[in-house]
């Protein structure tokens, strides 16, 4: 699908009620009122500088993510909308707007305020409905709290409810995983994200030194078949969408880039430049970066000092990876119009995917087969350029 170019505004909130053992996102557990207030003041300064730099822009989509945005108080959340609307010129009621929440941080009042402000998608991390499974990944979570949060979201009434679940958790079986999937389905979510458990450096699980062989493939296949049988559309290896009216408003295509990220840990993307603040996973590093961000003067936000320039090859590879990992596949016509080069010459290795029956040509589209989609996490990195591979190897986690 080709779509209109309309940039995406993203605000990052790097605070959570807890630090889950699997999570390597840029966030910290806790953060008192004064720390959060200083962060929000810095966010206003950053937004002012960025808005001046980019001028009048009509944003096509808005997301507040983290971390856990709803860790903020009612008035903290209001501040985010003041930044987005008052400073960046967004109209949240007119564009698709999404907010990430966690079970322990929401109630009907907070959620209704968000929906009243124009939020039409609430995404909640549940991970597992089994208390022991959640506890095993250092995510203490009571079942009653999870169900209360889900009922509250439905009561507040955003058009889209998304639920995140993780498979491959320690102690999980295919049966207990499917019980979680079925519990989630009771709320008839418009979207579901199923993540295989990734064990990453410097997270609680990564430091534990355990081995992580598991039932991930069986969990994936069972849940996929269940959802497809119920009429859900598989959008990618991780995402499933319930059949129904599609989102209104301007369609945002991530291949077309154009994301303005605000906040410490937010990433921004243009065609040729990806940049962010510096990144850390360990608690000490994250706190230090948030403190440094909160102390930044207004002028300092005019410069991005951490990022990567994408040359032509990396721009083409990024486009191919992002398209191919969606079940709808890669439009050869779209690629040719965008880059004016020949895909077969640019990435000859794609023919290997066809030879291995991991991808197939359907008219103008090259799409992964079911066997290819379930290997998405191997195929994506396999298509990285040598330069990106080297940069990743050289990256020092902190």
Using a 10 angstrom Cβ sphere, with 0-12 exposed, 13-18 middle and 19 or more buried, the burial of residue 309 is exposed
Q: Which of 63, 80, 166, 181 binds ligand SAM (CB under 6 A)?
A: 166
Rounded to the nearest 10 degrees, how much is the dihedral formed by the CA atoms of 12, 16, 21, 27?
30
Per partner kind, with CB cut-offs from 5 to 8 A, the member of ligand SAM, ligand SF4, none near residue 19 is ligand SF4
200 binds ligand SAM (CB under 6 A): yes
Q: Which of 20, 87, 223, 373 binds ligand SF4 (CB under 6 A)?
A: 20
Q: Which of 6, 9, 11, 23 binds ligand SAM (CB under 6 A)?
A: 23
Contact assessment for residue 353 and residue 372, using Cβ atoms and an 8 Å cutoff: yes
- For residue 23, the minimal CB distance to ligand SAM (Å) is 4
66 binds ligand SF4 (CB under 6 A): yes
Q: For ligand SF4, which stretch binds (CB under 6 A), given 31-39, 64-72, 208-216, 286-294? A: 64-72
Contact assessment for residue 248 and residue 93, using Cβ atoms and an 8 Å cutoff: no
- For residue 198, the minimal CB distance to ligand SF4 (Å) is 12
Q: For ligand SF4, which stretch binds (CB under 6 A), given 15-23, 289-297, 329-337, 356-364? A: 15-23
Q: Number of residues in contact with ligand SAM, rule: CB under 6 A?
A: 18
138 binds ligand SAM (CB under 6 A): no
Per partner kind, with CB cut-offs from 5 to 8 A, the member of ligand SAM, ligand SF4, none near residue 338 is none
**Number of Cβ atoms within 10 Å of the Cβ of 96:** 22
222/377 with CB nearer ligand SAM: 377
123 binds ligand SF4 (CB under 6 A): no
15/335 with CB nearer ligand SAM: 15
Per the structure block, which two tokens stand in for 130?
A: 């089994």
Q: What is the CA radius of gyration of the chain?
A: 21
* Angstrom distance (rounded) from CA 9 to CA 230: 34
| Contacts with ligand SAM, residue ranges (CB under 6 A) | 16, 22-23, 25, 65-66, 68, 100, 102, 124-125, 127, 164, 166, 195, 197-198, 200
Which stretches of the chain bind ligand SF4, using CB under 6 A?
16, 18-20, 23, 25, 27, 66-68, 102, 125
């Amino acid at each position: 699908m080709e779509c209109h170019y309309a940039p995406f505004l993203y605000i990052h909130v790097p605070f959570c009620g807890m630090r889950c053992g699997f999570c390597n996102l840029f966030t910290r557990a806790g953060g008192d009122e004064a720390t959060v207030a200083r962060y929000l003041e810095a966010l206003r300064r950053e937004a002012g500088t960025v808005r001046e730099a980019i001028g009048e822009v009509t944003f096509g989509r808005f997301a507040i993510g983290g971390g856990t945005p709803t860790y903020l108080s009612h008035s903290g959340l209001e501040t985010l909308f003041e930044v987005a609307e008052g400073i960046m010129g967004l109209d949240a009621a007119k564009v698709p707007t999404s907010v990430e929440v966690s079970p322990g941080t929401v109630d009907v009042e907070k959620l209704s305020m968000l929906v009243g402000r124009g939020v039409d998608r609430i995404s909640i991390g549940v991970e597992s409905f089994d208390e022991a499974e959640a506890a095993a990944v250092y995510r203490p979570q009571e079942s009653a709290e999870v169900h209360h949060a889900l009922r509250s979201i439905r009561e507040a009434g955003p058009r889209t409810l998304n639920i995140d679940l993780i498979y491959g958790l320690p102690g999980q079986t295919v049966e207990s995983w499917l019980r979680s999937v079925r519990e989630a389905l009771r709320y008839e979510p418009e979207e579901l994200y199923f993540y295989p458990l990734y064990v990453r450096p410097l997270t609680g699980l990564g430091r534990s030194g355990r081995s992580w062989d598991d039932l991930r493939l069986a969990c994936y296949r069972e849940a996929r078949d269940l959802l497809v049988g119920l009429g859900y559309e598989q959008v990618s290896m991780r995402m499933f969408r319930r059949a129904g009216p599609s989102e209104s408003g301007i369609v945002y295509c991530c291949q077309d880039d154009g994301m303005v990220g605000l906040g410490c840990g937010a990433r921004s993307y243009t065609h040729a430049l990806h940049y962010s603040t510096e990144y850390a996973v360990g608690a000490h590093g994250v706190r230090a970066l948030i403190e440094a961000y909160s102390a930044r003067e207004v002028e300092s936000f005019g410069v991005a000092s951490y990022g990567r320039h994408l040359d032509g090859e990396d721009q083409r590879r990024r486009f191919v990876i992002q398209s191919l990992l969606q079940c709808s596949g890669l439009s050869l016509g779209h690629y040719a119009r965008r880059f004016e080069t020949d895909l077969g010459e640019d990435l000859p290795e794609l023919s290997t995917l066809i030879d291995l029956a991991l991808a197939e040509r359907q008219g103008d589209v090259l799409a992964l087969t079911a066997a290819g989609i379930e290997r998405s996490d191997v195929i994506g990195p396999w298509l990285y350029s040598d330069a990106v591979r080297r940069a990743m190897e050289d990256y020092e986690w902190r």
